[in-house]
Amino acid sequence: MKNILRQTGMLASLASFLIVSNSHAAANASFEDTHFSGSGVCVDCHDGLTDTQGNDISIIKNWSTSMMANSTRDPYWRAKVASELHRNPGLSDEINDKCSRCHAPMANDSAKKDGAPLEILGSGFLNPINTYYDHALDGVSCTVCHQIADDGNLGTLDGVSGKYTILQYANAVDRPAFGQYLDPATRQMQNNVQFTPQHGAHTSTSEMCATCHDLKTPFVDAAGELASTTPESEFPEQMVYSEWKNSAYQTGGSEERSCQSCHMPKVSGDVKISTRPQNLAARPGFSRHTFLGANTTMLDILDNNRDALEVTATGFDQTILDTRALLQSAATIDVLSREMIGNQLKVVLKITNHTGHKLPSSYPSRRAYIHFLVQDDNGSIVFESGKLNANGSIAGVGEDIDASTYEPHYDQITAEDQVQVYGPIMQNTDGNVTHTLLRAAAYKKDNRLTPAGFDKGSVPSDVAVVGAASTDTNFNLGTDTITYLINVGNKRGFTINASLNYQTLSYGHLQDLFKDSASVAEVADFETMFDNANIREENLTSTADTLPFVCDMTLTLLKNQWNQIAIPCQLPAASNSVNAVLGDDITGIYGQDWAVFEYNPASNAYLQLSEGDSLQQGKGYWIVQLSSDSVVVDLPTESTLPALTTSTQCSSSSGCFEVAVAALDSATTWNMLGSPYVGDTSIDIFRLKTASGVCADSDACTLTEAAAEALFHDQVWHYDPAIEDYVLIEGAAAMNPWAGFWAASLSNATGVTPVLLLPVD
């Protein structure tokens, strides 16, 4: 009745009311016509199914919350179609055909067979008054896939990009319903829905999926002129099937698995695939029609905008959980090694793709990225690359800052604004970054993780690795190895967290799309929906490791050689004496074969310590040994990092080690001090604070400022035993661990209690 009304003047007279009131006629999922039937026709027999464990495996119910079922309700797809039409009006015929062929296949195929116009928006398929509205709103439905014929072209250039074949029949009952089983019962479907079940082995093959999931699109130049000349020269918008075909998962490959193996997993045990006839035998190996993908963001948007998008299905929460579980099986990330090299933390990660295609795959708005976080023992952040902001952007990523740029592929990361982003970047005919599909002529970057067995050196150009990843020897055959090399100053003891996260819609891509919001209603609608979405990313896999602090510093003392030293770790209270720290390594009699001295500024004299005297961080000492040609000394294993204080006067948010400085009633007071750190440090980050005066403010003073105020010298001196002389240390010159040094307070330091602040980084 409804289809008859659509062809009458009565319905036409209501069109203006429908448009003005912005209401929608509910789509009829139970429509039937010459070519197709809606999914509602299939419900009576193919829902209400359970497996041997009692799990609901209802076909239409499972399908109804998939992106296949909601392919035309998808507001991003609607917005993108509208934007492409707005930006490329000269290609409207191509856009309306190409974009509806796989997203609204029943509407597209029926219109072509009926000789009707192909139009998506306006008065087209998504308009309730359009003849093919029901066809369009039912998405990629049952009688599309189950009528696709094995015409010999599946999996070839002539069988992809929506070039599937659905034959036309004079007698409706001759329409096939191809399926996975041999010798299907036919009479029930012939009598009730006028389809004839047939065995179609091709329905279980990846070649079936290739019809829409290998997709090439034409492109235009800056003048809007068509620049692609042949199907081969068109832009490879998505090549999921070809990625699979060049992987170990291909037919005959070492990991052979079809698309359906993951996205339509088989049910264990024998099950009935229809509630009628009642005596129907149970079948093994039934494939669930869940069609799980990777788009939790859109599933969330669909569920939260049910009225606006005419969503009728329920159960999105469970589909999101199931999709998330599938995503979390897609990859692993492992810490291969972590070590300290001087003041640098080196961490090597390995990322492995466990899917049968690139990760991410499909439409080039998608990306995966590494969130790499290093924290110290107090939980403070030492380094963070790949931080997700509340708006969905990633801190430091080029295209999220400026959509006309992009983040390159990295083999080594050394700064927080460098982020490993696995994804495609399109370029136009001028070689510039573009987010407009029909301006995309090639990829400027494609470092999506390849599947196992995918050799980037031998694959076709349509699935090539592009950009820096193409020459990265650690990126191939399903894995990528990346090194993080981080200057951590004198911090030690770390927790390392690394996550591989995923976004269906990258921030920079969306910002480019949202430029059309003011002039394209579909874009404005989607922007509102996305801004209110609950899901911005998904975590695919994570790993954690620790690099605990171990004070394994050693110092070599040569015979009869004076060394000006310091203690680079906080010594345990029970083992901080001269004998406990050094006596276990140096042989001989203390005071005769070896000795340690400190300097007393008040008496301007050296004092020999006793074996029981404590050694302290921040102080300098002289040591000499006569017992052996060479002695290696170390520190007690219980030694820890120095105790730090934090304040606005410290130039490091992580803290400073404070050293009290003697300042006597003289022009200059010499102090023998020492570095408290296990790594190199430089005096240009030292600061001086005082109890009063100019260096008592919230910023304290740099050594240059302190020298100008006659408070503290801006140079220090360290004795180098190799040359038997003092060396000047100033500016950014490195001071090594174990290094003691001479520093001098100046005349104005008397009475203001100077304290030297040594930042940890």
The pLDDT confidence band at residue 26, using thresholds 50, 70 and 90, is confident
The pLDDT of residue 48 is 96
> Is the pLDDT at 136 greater than 50, yes or no?
yes
| Tokens read off for 312 | 């009728």
Reported in sequence order, the residue ranges of 601-724 that DSSP labels E, i.e. its strands, are 605-608, 621-625, 630-634, 656-660, 668-674, 681-682, 687-689, 701-702, 716-720
295-326 pLDDT, tens per residue? 999 999 999 999 999 999 999 999 999 999 99
The pLDDT of residue 46 is 97
Question: Taking a C-beta distance cutoff of 8 angstroms, is the pair 450, 246 a contact?
Answer: no
> Is the pLDDT at 10 greater than 90, yes or no?
no
The pLDDT of residue 477 is 98
Region 612-636 average pLDDT: 95
> Is the pLDDT at 761 greater than 90, yes or no?
no
Region 92-106 average pLDDT: 98
| Tokens read off for 583 | 């006596």
The pLDDT of residue 25 is 63
Which residue in the block uniquely carries the two structure tokens 């349509």? 462
Taking the CA atoms of residue 463, residue 466, residue 472 and residue 476 in that order, the dihedral angle to the nearest 10 degrees is -10
Question: Taking a C-beta distance cutoff of 8 angstroms, is the pair 637, 709 a contact?
Answer: no
Percent residues over pLDDT 70 in the chain: 97
> Is the pLDDT at 345 greater than 90, yes or no?
yes
> Is the pLDDT at 364 greater than 80, yes or no?
yes
User: In angstroms, how far is the first alpha carbon of the chain from the final one?
Assistant: 77
The pLDDT confidence band at residue 146, using thresholds 50, 70 and 90, is very high
Span of 441-450, 589-598, 653-662 with lowest mean pLDDT: 653-662
Mean of pLDDT over the chain: 94
> Is the pLDDT at 573 greater than 80, yes or no?
yes
Question: Taking a C-beta distance cutoff of 8 angstroms, is the pair 201, 260 a contact?
Answer: no
The pLDDT confidence band at residue 7, using thresholds 50, 70 and 90, is very low
The whole-angstrom separation of Cα 80 and Cα 76 is 6
> Is the pLDDT at 342 greater than 90, yes or no?
no
The pLDDT of residue 268 is 93
The pLDDT of residue 24 is 53
Question: Taking a C-beta distance cutoff of 8 angstroms, is the pair 684, 757 a contact?
Answer: no
The pLDDT confidence band at residue 11, using thresholds 50, 70 and 90, is very low
Residue 496, classified by CB atoms within 10 Å of its CB into exposed (0-12), middle (13-18) or buried (19+), is buried
397-455 pLDDT, tens per residue? 999 999 999 999 999 999 999 999 999 999 999 999 999 999 999 999 999 999 999 99
CA distances from 587 to 608, 690, 704, 744 (A): 18, 43, 44, 35
The pLDDT of residue 641 is 87
Strand partners, 483: 348, 412
> Is the pLDDT at 343 greater than 90, yes or no?
no
> Is the pLDDT at 9 greater than 50, yes or no?
no
The whole-angstrom separation of Cα 572 and Cα 96 is 75
Region 634-663 average pLDDT: 90
User: Strands 214-217 and 475-476: what pairing?
Assistant: unpaired
> Is the pLDDT at 395 greater than 90, yes or no?
yes
Cis peptide before 236 (omega within 30 of 0): no
162-215 pLDDT, tens per residue? 999 999 999 999 999 999 999 999 999 999 999 999 999 999 999 999 999 999
CA distances from 364 to 140, 298, 426, 435, 507 (A): 21, 16, 8, 9, 12
218-272 pLDDT, tens per residue? 999 999 999 999 999 999 999 999 999 999 999 999 999 999 999 999 999 999 9
Span of 382-386, 547-551, 664-668, 710-714 with lowest mean pLDDT: 664-668
Region 537-553 average pLDDT: 94
Q: 3-state class of 448 per DSSP?
A: coil
The pLDDT of residue 23 is 46
> Is the pLDDT at 743 greater than 90, yes or no?
yes
Region 466-494 average pLDDT: 95
The pLDDT confidence band at residue 8, using thresholds 50, 70 and 90, is very low
> Is the pLDDT at 115 greater than 70, yes or no?
yes
Question: Taking a C-beta distance cutoff of 8 angstroms, is the pair 373, 383 a contact?
Answer: yes
> Is the pLDDT at 59 greater than 50, yes or no?
yes
The pLDDT of residue 339 is 92
The pLDDT of residue 372 is 98
> Is the pLDDT at 294 greater than 70, yes or no?
yes
590 or 490, greater pLDDT: 590
The pLDDT of residue 705 is 94
The pLDDT of residue 682 is 85
| Tokens read off for 47 | 């829902």
Region 454-482 average pLDDT: 98
> The pTM is what?
0.88
Region 687-699 average pLDDT: 92
The whole-angstrom separation of Cα 689 and Cα 703 is 10
Based on DSSP, count helices (H) and strands (E) in the chain, helices before strands. 21, 32
Which residue in the block uniquely carries the two structure tokens 């669930």? 288
The whole-angstrom separation of Cα 220 and Cα 237 is 14
The pLDDT confidence band at residue 519, using thresholds 50, 70 and 90, is very high
For residue 127, the 8-state DSSP code is S
The dihedral region occupied by 637, where left means phi > 0, alpha psi between -120 and 50, and beta the remainder, is alpha
The pLDDT confidence band at residue 17, using thresholds 50, 70 and 90, is very low
The pLDDT of residue 13 is 33
The pLDDT of residue 56 is 96
The pLDDT of residue 316 is 98
CA distances from 21 to 3, 15, 129 (A): 22, 10, 14
